[in-house]
């Protein structure tokens, strides 16, 4: 059979959970594999290509199978009752490789899911805690011949600064791995992550190159991260306090957008939406980094479920 060079832009793959393991205190690492993934974008399923590529996971309702959507009719699927259809949640591909499944070598994607049990637990976190090897899970991603869903775009930046919370760890550790493989001196790299507990820091430090600083949360969510980022960007304490208070720092006016050119800095920020806004203000208003050289992604929003 001849392989098709270009598939549909969005494909739904049926996969099987092949491994589940705890990673630190806050993550479950799931490996999801299946032959359908070989029709996906090579930039997602080929080893060593993942960076911050993300996929959609169709989370079934508890005790049910959910309804697998037609990728061309996701809007209609979203109008169905959640308890029937289930939910769609977004996770980053931490690693792409292959495994043997039913005597066949098939692509396998690893995702690290943050579990946040308690009153605020969402379907994604609950599903990750209940899923077992052998379970079926449907995923959506870009078809072969299409670009990965990702935001990483450092161009020829001479200095790269990345910061994020625990949900951004899969993306930032993949990015750190890719940058570590560049010839020494290509760029100056600083990557900072705030993780919920010291056990998470210990677990992820085994995978973090020396450019990565892992902070254990202390005090309010995001404060350790913003303080550390302020130091990396060389902005004053007053500026850090302003952005943590939800204000725009007074030192500098808003910058106009530019594109990243050789030698410029590039800043990549991801995590809880309010925290990302504070870090963007620190970088753009505080440190004067051109707005066009900052990628920022609110990965989740405090008090709001992913739609
Ligand atoms: C591009 C992209 C990549 C992402 N990659 C990852 C990833 O690799 N791993 C990962 O774990 N997440 C990742 N996320 C974030 C993840 O999609 C959200 O956290 C999502 O809301 C989790 O769904 P849920 O069903 O558990 O909670 P929801 O039903 O969406 O939310 C229920 C409640 O939980 C709160 N909540 C949601 N997430 C968290 C959290 N992490 N900690 C504490 N409270 C939370 C919400 O504010 C809400 O009050 C990514 C998001 C995006 C957009």
252-303 confidence digits (pLDDT tens) = 544 444 555 556 799 999 999 999 999 999 999 999 999 999 999 999 999 9
pLDDT score for 97 = 95
Q: From the CB of 116, is ligand 1 less than 6 Å away?
A: yes
Rounded to 10 deg, the angle between the 223-233 and 237-244 helix axes is: 140
Q: Are residues 62 and 173 in the same domain?
A: no
Q: Which atom of ligand 1 is nearest to the CA of 92?
A: 8
Please tell me the distance between residue 127's alpha carbon and the centre of ligand 1 in angstroms.
12
Range of the domain at 216: 159-300
Q: Which whole number is the average pLDDT over 97-101?
A: 96
Instruction: Categorize the per-residue pLDDT at 4 as very low, low, confident or very high, splitting at 50, 70 and 90.
Output: low
Give the residue from 278, 173, 174, 156 showing the smallest Cα distance to 220.
278
Q: Which atom of ligand 1 is nearest to the CA of 114?
A: 11
Q: Give percent above pLDDT 90 in the chain.
A: 84
CATH number at residue 67: 2.40.30.10
Among the residue ranges 139-143, 153-157, 200-204, 247-251, the one predicted with the least confidence is 247-251
Q: Whole-angstrom Cα distance, residue 232 to residue 215?
A: 14
Q: Which whole number is the average pLDDT over 143-164?
A: 95
Q: From the CB of 58, is ligand 1 less than 6 Å away?
A: no
The structure tokens listed for 75 are: 């809007």
Q: Are residues 164 and 126 in the same domain?
A: no
Q: CB–CB of 90/52 below 8 Å? A: no
Q: Which whole number is the average pLDDT over 236-254?
A: 80
Q: From the CB of 89, is ligand 1 less than 6 Å away?
A: yes
Among the residue ranges 136-145, 211-220, 242-251, 288-297, the one predicted with the least confidence is 242-251
> Which residue minimizes the CA distance to atom 37 of ligand 1?
300
The reply to whether 248 falls in a domain is yes
The structure tokens listed for 98 are: 């292959």
Q: Are residues 176 and 233 in the same domain?
A: yes
Pairing of strands 27-33, 265-272: unpaired
- Answer whether residue 139 shows pLDDT above 90: yes
The reply to whether 61 falls in a domain is yes
- Answer whether residue 113 shows pLDDT above 60: yes
Q: Whole-angstrom Cα distance, residue 92 to residue 111?
A: 6
Q: From the CB of 306, is ligand 1 less than 6 Å away?
A: yes
Q: CB–CB of 165/222 below 8 Å? A: yes
Q: Whole-angstrom Cα distance, residue 213 to residue 190?
A: 8
- Answer whether residue 169 shows pLDDT above 50: yes
Q: Is the dihedral of CA 77, 82, 84, 89 positive or negative?
A: positive
Please write the tens of the pLDDT for every residue from 33-51.
999 999 999 999 998 877 8
For the chain, the domain total comes to 2
Q: Which whole number is the average pLDDT over 126-151?
A: 96
Q: From the CB of 167, is ligand 1 less than 6 Å away?
A: yes
pLDDT score for 254 = 41
Of residues 265 and 193, more confidently modeled? 193
pLDDT score for 258 = 53
Report the DSSP beta bridge partners of residue 21.
29
Q: What is the ipTM of this complex?
A: 0.99
Please write the tens of the pLDDT for every residue from 48-71.
877 899 999 999 998 889 999 999
Q: From the CB of 169, is ligand 1 less than 6 Å away?
A: no
Q: Are residues 46 and 125 in the same domain?
A: yes
The structure tokens listed for 17 are: 């959970």
Please tell me the distance between residue 102's alpha carbon and the centre of ligand 1 in angstroms.
32
CATH number at residue 263: 3.40.50.80
Give the residue from 96, 51, 120 showing the smallest Cα distance to 297.
51
Q: With residue 194 as reference, give the H or E element that holds it.
A: strand 188-195
Q: Whole-angstrom Cα distance, residue 94 to residue 46?
A: 12
- Answer whether residue 109 shows pLDDT above 60: yes
Q: Are residues 138 and 163 in the same domain?
A: no
Please tell me the distance between residue 300's alpha carbon and the centre of ligand 1 in angstroms.
5
Compute CA distances 72 → 56, 77, 266, whole Å. Answer: 14, 10, 35
- Answer whether residue 3 shows pLDDT above 90: no
Q: From the CB of 124, is ligand 1 less than 6 Å away?
A: yes
pLDDT score for 220 = 96
Q: Are residues 15 and 138 in the same domain?
A: yes
Q: Which whole number is the average pLDDT over 196-204?
A: 98
Q: Are residues 19 and 117 in the same domain?
A: yes
Report the DSSP beta bridge partners of residue 3.
none
Domain end residue (candidates: 142, 173, 194): 142
Tally of CB atoms within 10 A around 21: 9
Q: Are residues 61 and 120 in the same domain?
A: yes
Give the residue from 33, 32, 90, 84 showing the smallest Cα distance to 62.
84
Phi, psi of 278 (to 5 degrees): -65, -40
Q: Are residues 132 and 166 in the same domain?
A: no
Q: From the CB of 303, is ligand 1 less than 6 Å away?
A: yes
């Amino acid at each position: 059979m001849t392989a098709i060079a270009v598939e549909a832009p969005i494909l739904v793959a049926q996969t099987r959970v092949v491994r589940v393991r705890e990673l630190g205190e806050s993550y479950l690492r799931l490996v999801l594999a299946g032959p359908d993934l070989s029709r996906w974008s090579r930039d997602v399923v080929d080893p060593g290509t993942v960076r911050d590529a993300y996929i959609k996971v169709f989370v079934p309702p508890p005790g049910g199978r959910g309804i697998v959507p037609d990728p061309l009719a996701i809007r209609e699927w979203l109008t169905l009752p959640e308890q029937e259809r289930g939910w769609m949640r977004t996770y980053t591909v931490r690693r792409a490789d292959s495994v043997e499944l039913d005597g066949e070598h098939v692509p396998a994607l690893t995702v690290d899911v943050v579990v946040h049990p308690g009153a605020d637990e969402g379907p994604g976190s609950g599903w990750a805690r209940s899923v077992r090897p052998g379970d079926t899970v449907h995923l959506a991603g870009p078809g072969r011949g299409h670009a990965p869903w990702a935001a990483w775009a450092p161009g020829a930046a001479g200095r790269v600064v990345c910061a994020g919370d625990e949900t951004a760890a899969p993306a930032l550790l993949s990015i750190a791995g890719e940058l570590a493989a560049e010839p020494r001196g290509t760029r100056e790299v600083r990557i900072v992550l705030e993780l919920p507990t010291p056990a998470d820091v210990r677990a992820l430090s085994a995978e973090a190159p020396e450019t990565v600083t892992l902070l254990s949360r202390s005090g309010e969510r995001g404060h350790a991260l913003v303080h550390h980022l302020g130091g990396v960007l060389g902005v004053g304490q007053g500026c850090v306090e302003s952005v943590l208070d939800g204000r725009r720092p007074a030192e500098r006016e808003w910058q106009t957008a530019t594109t990243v050119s050789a030698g410029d800095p590039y800043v990549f920020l991801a995590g809880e939406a309010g925290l990302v806004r504070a870090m963007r203000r620190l970088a753009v208003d505080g440190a004067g980094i051109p707005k066009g050289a900052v990628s920022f992604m609110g990965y989740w929003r405090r008090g709001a479920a992913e739609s």
